[in-house]
């Protein structure tokens, strides 16, 4: 059976031919009807998630870019829910936006199948020096640079001050002192007694975010895919041990069964934390605003938990140029501009994001609030392992992520033992990677 693995660089030509063969529609001149830009002006469209402050930042930065490039214009648009459905459909008709803000977990397929444009020529070579290897690897592949990581986002531990005080535990302040798994579960057990409900929560955000649990696997020295970045390895003893650790969260009632990757209803763990039903929360910086509003001064932060190894979630977004772009060079130039050091500072300050560039710390950004906490997040970013980045930004990841979500559920619910789960998940993953 043929596989998808051959990069479809020639996709455009073939796609059109097949389309004609199938549909019998003449293509001549049809594309011309689709471009709405006034003649002479080179128009770019940038699509971002619908986060008002970010849309504002993009527009401001784009306006500066336009001012420096006469005869251009840039529109900032929003990406709807159901990303893949929207993006695949748009790409098929060559109507995707020029520039797309895309997560590391989403980028792999499009980089591999020829949907994104190689940015190598447009992005100054010194950019790479200001990125850690894992963060650069999100966009860089063997055959080119298909995206530049703009900002990151990862997990640390939030705790309820009162709860921790009553337990008599001291929150670790540096990465070196981070709570190890057993220590953490011990504290979570105490917290459960105090809250009367659960101990802690994990910051999943809906069915597509199962991957946020992968750091736990890497914290134990396990890996999602082997060293070649392709061979599923969730059946290794380390991975199975991690699954066993996860099973304990639910078997011991430390985490609410409603707090699993697939369950809907918004940020479940955050809501549990805000209502005092859990004492600890593993989550990203997005919670800060809500905690400031709901329980100001009652919360503190500590590094992400760890075991034999360290790891944290790979959040954040890259910017990429799509093959639909009529002006790929110009679009690539804009991507380089937005990801320049000065603009990353501007963007992260307004939107409270973490910079992806290594040379930036919290004081460079000048966050309005919680500079110390933001610095903790930035430091935590260095624990994200390269092999996890490679796995998550690989070409099969969105499929593998659904498989991961399915089997994680089965393990956490106790339908499968951790060992069975590891074996069956690996097998299901293999059927994806060898498809």
Partner 1 sequence: MSRLDEPRKDGLGRGTRRRARWAPYVFVGPAGLLFLAFSLLPIVIAVALSFQDTATLGDGEWVGTANYRTMLGDPLLRTALLNTLVFTIGTVPTAMAIGLALAVALNRPLPGRGLLRALFFVPMIAAGVVVGVIMSWIFNPDYGVANNALAALGLGGLPWLTSPSTAMITLIGVVVWTRIGFCMVIYLGALQSIPAELREAAAIDGASGWQRFRRLTVPMLAPTTSILLILNVVFSLQAFDVIYVMTGGGPGFSTTVLIQYVFRSAFADARMGYAAALGLLLVVILLVFTLLRQRATKRAEELL
Partner 2 sequence: MTTTTAQPAQPLRERRSRRRRWLLTAVLTAVAMLVVFPLYWMVVSALTPGGQSQSSEFYLWPAAPTTENFSEVFAQQPVWRWLGNSFFVASVGTALSVCVSLGAGYALAKFRFRGRGLLYAAFLVTIMIPIQVTLVPAFLVTARLGLVDSPWAVILPTLFDVVGIFIARQFLLGVPDALIEAARLDGAGELRTFFRVVLPTCWPLVGVLVILGFMNRWNDFLWPLVVLQGNESLTVPVGLSTLTNSPAFTSPWGAVMAVATVAVVPLLVVFLVFQRTFVQGIASTGIK
Interaction site with partner 1 (CB under 8 A): 1-2, 4, 8, 11, 14-19, 22-23, 82, 84-85, 88, 91-92, 109, 113, 197-198, 206-207, 256-258, 260-266, 268, 271-272, 275, 277, 398-399, 401-402, 405-406, 409-410, 413, 415, 432, 435
Distance (Å) of CA 331 to CA 68, 204, 295, 390: 14, 33, 43, 26
Residue 378 parent element (H or E): helix 371-381
In terms of CB distance, is 53 or 386 closer to partner 2? 53
- Write down the least CB distance from residue 392 to partner 1, Å: 15
Q: Which does 413 bind (CB under 5 to 8 A by kind): partner 1, partner 2, none?
A: partner 1
- What distance in Å separates the CA atoms of residue 15 and residue 88, rounded to the nearest whole number? 13
Which of partner 2, partner 1, none binds 127 (CB below 5-8 Å, type-dependent)?
none
330 vs 74: CA distance, rounded Å: 11
In this complex, which beta carbon is closest to partner 1, that of residue 147 or of residue 303?
A: 147
Instruction: Give the strand pairing for 280-283 and 299-302.
Output: unpaired
Find residue 306's DSSP bridge partners.
180
103 vs 383, beta carbon nearer partner 2: 103
Q: Which is nearer to partner 1, 80 or 120 (CB)?
A: 80
Q: Distance between CA atoms of 53 and 66, rounded to whole angstroms?
A: 20
Query: What is the closest distance, in whole angstroms, from the C-beta atom of residue 176 to partner 2 in the complex?
Result: 31
Report d(CA 100, CA 87) in Å as an integer.
9
Residue 34's binding partner among partner 1, partner 2, none (Cβ under 5 to 8 angstroms by kind) is partner 2
Nearer to partner 2, 56 or 182 (CB): 56
Residue 145 three-state SS:
strand
Provide the minimum distance between the beta carbon of 86 and partner 2 in the complex, in angstroms, as a whole number: 6
Cα separations (Å) of 117 from 89, 234, 303? Answer: 18, 32, 37
Quick one: what does residue 75 bind among partner 2, partner 1, none, with the CB cut-off 5 to 8 Å set by partner type?
A: partner 2
HEC profile of 93-114: CCCCCCEEEECHHHHHHHHHCC
- Interface residues with partner 2 (CB under 8 A)? 19, 23, 25, 27, 30, 33-34, 36, 45, 47, 49-52, 55, 75, 77-83, 85-86, 88-90, 92-95, 97, 101, 103, 105-106, 197, 205-206, 208-209, 266-267, 270-272, 274-275, 277, 286, 290, 293-295, 315, 317
* Contact between residue 194 and residue 315 where contact means Cβ atoms under 8 Å apart: no
- Shortest spacing between CB 173 and partner 2, in angstroms: 28
| Nearer residue to partner 1 within complex by CB, 40 or 265 | 265
Torsion sign (Cα): 420, 422, 423, 426: positive
Rounded to the nearest whole angstrom, what is the least distance from the CB of residue 109 to partner 2 in the complex? 14
Which lies closer to partner 1 via its Cβ, residue 41 or residue 431? 431
DSSP 75-98: EEEE--SSHHHHHHHHHHTT-S-S
95 binds, among partner 2, partner 1, none (CB under 5 to 8 A by kind): partner 2
Residue count of the chain, please give it: 435
Nearest to 54 by CA among 348, 333, 336, 377: 348
Closest approach, Cβ 391 to partner 2, in A, equals 16
Nearest approach, Cβ of 59 to partner 2 (angstroms)? 11
**Minimum distance between the CB of residue 22 and partner 1, rounded to whole angstroms?**
5
Q: Which is nearer to partner 1, 94 or 361 (CB)?
A: 94
Token digits of residue 201? 């929560």
Residue 344 neighbours by CB under 8 Å, 6+ apart: 150, 151, 338, 355, 356, 357, 360
CB 169 to partner 2: min, Å: 25
Which of partner 2, partner 1, none does residue 434 bind (CB under 5 to 8 Å by kind)? none
Which backbone phi and psi does 308 adopt, to 5 degrees? -70, -25
CA–CA gap between residue 333 and residue 347 (Å, rounded): 17
> Between vectors from CA 325 to CA 130 and to CA 391, what angle results, nearest 5°?
50
Indicate the residue among 122 and 268 with the shorter CB distance to partner 1.
268
Residue with smaller CB distance to partner 1, 24 or 71: 24
- Cβ atoms < 10 Å from Cβ of 327: 16
Q: To the nearest whole angstrom, how small is the minimum distance from the Cβ of residue 85 to partner 2? A: 7
175 binds, among partner 2, partner 1, none (CB under 5 to 8 A by kind): none
Residue 80: which of partner 2, partner 1, none does it interact with, CB under 5 to 8 A by kind? partner 2
CA 370, 372, 378 angle in degrees (round to 5)? 105
């Amino acid at each position: 059976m043929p596989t998808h693995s051959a990069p479809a660089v020639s996709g455009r030509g073939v796609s059109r031919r097949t389309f004609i063969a199938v549909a019998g529609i003449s293509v001549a001149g049809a594309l011309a009807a689709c471009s709405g830009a006034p003649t002479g002006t080179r128009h770019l469209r940038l699509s971002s998630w619908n986060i008002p402050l970010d849309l504002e930042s993009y527009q401001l930065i784009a306006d500066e870019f336009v001012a420096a490039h006469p005869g251009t214009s840039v529109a900032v648009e929003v990406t709807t829910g159901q990303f893949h459905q929207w993006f695949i459909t748009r790409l098929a008709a060559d109507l995707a936006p020029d520039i797309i803000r895309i997560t590391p977990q989403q980028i792999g397929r499009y980089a591999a199948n020829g949907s994104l444009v190689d940015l190598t020529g447009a992005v100054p070579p010194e950019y790479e020096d200001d990125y850690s290897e894992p963060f650069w690897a999100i966009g860089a592949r063997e055959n080119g640079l298909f995206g530049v990581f703009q900002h990151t986002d990862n997990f640390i531990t939030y705790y309820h001050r009162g709860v921790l005080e009553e337990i008599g535990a001291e929150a670790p302040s540096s990465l070196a002192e981070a709570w190890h798994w057993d220590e953490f579960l011990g504290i979570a057990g105490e917290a459960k007694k105090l809250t009367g409900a659960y101990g802690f929560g994990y910051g999943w955000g809906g069915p597509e975010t199962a991957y946020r649990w992968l750091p736990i696997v890497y914290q134990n020295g396990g890996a999602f895919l082997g060293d070649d970045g392709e061979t599923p390895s969730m059946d290794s003893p380390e991975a199975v041990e991690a699954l066993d650790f996860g099973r304990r969260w639910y078997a011991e009632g430390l985490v609410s069964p409603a707090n699993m990757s697939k369950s809907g209803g918004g940020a479940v763990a955050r809501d549990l934390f805000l209502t005092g039903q859990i004492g600890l929360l593993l989550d990203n910086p997005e919670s800060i605003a809500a905690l400031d509003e709901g329980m100001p001064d009652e919360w503190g932060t500590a590094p992400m938990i760890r075991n034999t190894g360290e790891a944290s979630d790979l959040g954040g977004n890259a910017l990429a140029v799509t093959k639909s772009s009529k002006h790929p060079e110009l679009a690539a130039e804009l991507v380089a501009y937005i990801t320049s050091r000065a603009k990353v500072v501007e963007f992260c300050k307004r939107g409270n994001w973490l910079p992806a560039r290594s040379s930036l710390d919290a004081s460079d950004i000048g966050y309005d609030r919680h500079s110390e906490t933001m610095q903790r997040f930035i430091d935590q970013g260095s624990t994200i392992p390269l092999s996890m980045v490679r796995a998550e930004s690989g070409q099969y990841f969105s499929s593998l992520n659904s498989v991961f979500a399915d089997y994680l559920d089965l393990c956490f619910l106790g339908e499968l033992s951790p060992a069975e789960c590891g074996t069956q998940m690996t097998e299901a993953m293999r059927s994806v990677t060898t498809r």
